C-alpha cells in the first residue's frame, strides 16, 4: 500500500513512540518533508513500511537536516526541508521513492494527500491508520482570498487543493504527500499546520518550484 502512497511517519522521541508529521521518500537516503515539520525535530526518527501508527515498521535515524535557506514560518514560504538518513533505507514494494515533477501543477488536476493527522480539529488523537483523500488543484488567487479572510498569508511557492466532499489535511499531516499514482509523481507537500477540514482548502508547497534546490543537495 505504501508503494502507492509514498508516505512515512516522522517523530521526535529518542525511541519512536509518538507520531509528529509526515514525509516522502525520494531516494534510498533522502526524505522530503516540510520545514514546519522539522523545525523542532532535532532527533527525528523516520518510520517506513507501515500504515499503522502503533506499528512503526522499519525505523531509521536522521543524520542531516537541510532547511530551505529562505524558509519563513510566518509568511508560510519555502516550507520545505530534506532529511538524510544515517543508513540507507530498505526500499521495497512497501516503501519506494516517488519522482519529482517535470512540470508545474495545473489548475483542476486531481491527486491524493495521505497522512495520520487528526480526523477533526478537536480530535483527541491522530488517526490510527494511514488515511487518504482526493483533492483538486484550485485557482491560486481564489485560494489566497479564502485564506486572507482567516488572516493567513500564503507563500508565493504555495498552491491550494480542496475536496468538494469535505476531506482535507489536519494537524499531524504536515510534510505528507500530494501527488498522483499513475504516473507516480509528487506535486507537493502538505504545508499548513492547522486543520483545513470542512471544505477549506489545503495549502501545499509546490515541489516543481524547489526541484533544483532538492537536486543540488541530494544529487538525484
pTM: 0.87
pLDDT at 194: 67
Q: What is the tens place of the pLDDT at every residue in 89-109?
A: 988 877 889 999 999 999 999
Residue 141's pLDDT band, with cuts at 50, 70 and 90, is very high
Q: Is the distance from CB of 120 to CB of 68 less than 8 angstroms?
A: no
**Domains (range + CATH), the chain:** 2-97+211-218 (2.40.10.10), 110-208 (2.40.10.10)
Residues 89, 59, 191, 102, Cα dihedral to 10°: 10
pLDDT at 100: 94
> pLDDT at residue 81 above 50?
yes
Amino acid at each position: 500500500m505504501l508503494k502507492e502512497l509514498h508516505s512515512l511517519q516522522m517523530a521526535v522521541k529518542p525511541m519512536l513512540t509518538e507520531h509528529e508529521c509526515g514525509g516522502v521518500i525520494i531516494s534510498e537516503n533522502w526524505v522530503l518533508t516540510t520545514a514546519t515539520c522539522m523545525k523542532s525535530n532535532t532527533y527525528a526518527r523516520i518510520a517506513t513500511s507501515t500504515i499503522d501508527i502503533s506499528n512503526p515498521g522499519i525505523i531509521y535515524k536522521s543524520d542531516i537536516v537541510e532547511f530551505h535557506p529562505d524558509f519563513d514560518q510566518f509568511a508560510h514560504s519555502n516550507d520545505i526541508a530534506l532529511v538524510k538518513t544515517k543508513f540507507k533505507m530498505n526500499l521495497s514494494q512497501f516503501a519506494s521513492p516517488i519522482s519529482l515533477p517535470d512540470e508545474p501543477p495545473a489548475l483542476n488536476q486531481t491527486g491524493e494527500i495521505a497522512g495520520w493527522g487528526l480526523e477533526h480539529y478537536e480530535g483527541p488523537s491522530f488517526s490510527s491508520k494511514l488515511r487518504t483523500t482526493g483533492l483538486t488543484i484550485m485557482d491560486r488567487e481564489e485560494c489566497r482570498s479564502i485564506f486572507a479572510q482567516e488572516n493567513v498569508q500564503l507563500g508565493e511557492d504555495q498552491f491550494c487543493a480542496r475536496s468538494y466532499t469535505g476531506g482535507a489535511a489536519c494537524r499531524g499531516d504536515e510534510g505528507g504527500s500530494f501527488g498522483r499514482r499513475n504516473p507516480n509523481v509528487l506535486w507537493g507537500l502538505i504545508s499548513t499546520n492547522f486543520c483545513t477540514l470542512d471544505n477549506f482548502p489545503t495549502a501545499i508547497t509546490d515541489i516543481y518550484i524547489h526541484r533544483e534546490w532538492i537536486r543540488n543537495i541530494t544529487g538525484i
